[in-house]
Amino acid sequence: MSEVVAVIDYGMGNLHSAGKALEKVASGQQILITGDADQIRAADRVVFPGVGAIRDCIGVLRETGLDEAIRDVIAAGKPLLGICVGMQALMAHSEENNGVDCLGVFDGEVAFFGEMQDETGSKLKVPHMGWNQVQQGMAHPMWAGIANNARFYFVHSYCVTGMSDDEVAGFCDYGRRFAAAVTRNNVFAVQFHPEKSADAGLTLLENFLRWQP
């Protein structure tokens, strides 16, 4: 039986990109886009993507019971990859939408970029949109074959702060220093979109499919 990689479908945004990119790098694994909690629990690996607003995201996860499925996957020690809002949803709390309690897998806070200026004094644009460098905070199998300070594609207006450095796998600078990748045990989550980050992103996804935490 080949491994099953579940991509969690909870009706938020474009999951096809994540699925297509995983299919591109899979070697024998079956990529299953699903909103079924049992299928997610039964999968060998799970990808938790997300775009859009956090209140809707958390709301849908709670209504459908997928929040519990995610906790079960993590407790079972299976590799889980959070992407963008999927990473933010794993934090304790987000200040988006007047404040939303998230899943609390990590202690981090999700904060608005706010009014910031660059070195030259001009206002930084929000969303933080485009290719920025990720400084690797630790050696990790997910970074195999990816250069330190490689560029990944970001698009977000809120970012993860308040994490202890030993759980930050990668940092990014945009007006402030924020967590671009976090990890603990079998969980790895990234703020950028590996499925839209050309070769560096595909390498990261390939690493995830091989990762044995």
Partner 1 sequence: MGLAKRIIPCLDVDDGRVVKGVQFVDIRDAGDPVEVAKRYNDAGADEITFLDITASHEGRDTTLHTVERIASQVFIPLTVGGGVRTLEDIRNLLNAGADKVGINSAAVHNPEFVREAAERFGSQCIVVAIDAKKVSAESEPNRWEIFTHGGRKPTGLDAVEWAKRMTDYGAGEILLTSMDRDGTKNGFDIALTRAISDAVPVPVIASGGVGNLQHLVDGVIQGGADAVLAASIFHFGEYSVEEAKRFMQNAGIEMRV
Active site residues: 84, 193, 195
Among 102, 72, 100, residue whose Cα is nearest residue 87: 102
Q: Is 198 in the site for partner 1 (CB under 8 A)?
A: yes
In angstroms, what CA-CA distances link 121 with 124, 125, 195?
Answer: 9, 12, 33
Residue 86 has which token pair? 């999927």
Q: Is 14 in the site for partner 1 (CB under 8 A)?
A: yes
Q: How far is Cα of residue 213 from the mean position of the Cα atoms in its chain? A: 17
Q: Is 10 in the site for partner 1 (CB under 8 A)?
A: no
- As beta bridge partners, residue 133 has 151
Closest CB 52 distance from partner 1, rounded Å: 4
Closest CB 66 distance from partner 1, rounded Å: 19
Q: Which is nearer to partner 1, 136 or 186 (CB)?
A: 136
Only one of the segments 58-66, 69-77, 94-102, 188-196 lies at the binding site for partner 1 (rule: CB under 8 A); that segment is: 188-196
Dist. CA 138–CA 121, nearest whole Å? 32
Amino acid found at 189: A
Selected from 2, 173, 176, 185, the binder of partner 1 by CB under 8 A is: 173
CB atoms near residue 16 (< 10 Å): 12
Q: Is 127 in the site for partner 1 (CB under 8 A)?
A: yes
Binding site for partner 1 (CB under 8 A): 13-14, 16-17, 20-21, 23-24, 51-53, 118, 122-123, 125-133, 149, 151, 153-157, 173-174, 193, 195-198, 201-202
